[in-house]
Structure 1
């Protein structure tokens, strides 16, 4: 597994008063397992929370489903973040954001 972490700011142009219409500041993670990549981010306004938002295989992105979060790649990425020791809340995007279920945490404990 290769991991990259990049700090990013995504925002609109400033208006004449110096305000933004929208402004997002976050750490972006990419976990690479050859042809499989997992993408997660943690926003600066919720620093104890990390969310997996995209699964990519052979360059094709999708959101997560229960089959994907049971895969060894997801477990390994989750273990990496848990060992990182910063986050307390873990979510994944499957149309809306959901908490990582206990069944996945049990698999992580057995690795």
Structure 2
């Protein structure tokens, strides 16, 4: 009779441990999926930012710098206007480098998490 009570306690303890392991396993899966989704989302945003800068923002700033430089040389704009236009272009190029770098870093993180190469 006492052995039965001891065994039922051991069984309950083993079942509780099994349930705890299952809960921890599910929590680990959720953390992994969250990490992967965050990396994917951040990579996608970095790619969109880089493409936007490359296709529209930087070309417009290059045109603006050229126009500002012409106006400065003709005396219509001051040196500060020219330097400001040049600085805006440099900032956009720096942001492009940062976005492209982030896309590569997040891509490497995704490859590490999935153990598969990303397709372009």
- Per the shorter chain, which TM-score range? under 0.3
TM-score, length of structure 2 as denominator length: 0.21
Q: Does 1 or 2 have the higher relative contact order (CA < 8 Å, sep 6+)?
A: 2
- Asked which structure has the greater CA Rg, the reply is 2
Greater strand proportion: 1
TM-score, length of structure 1 as denominator length: 0.22
Greater helix proportion: 2
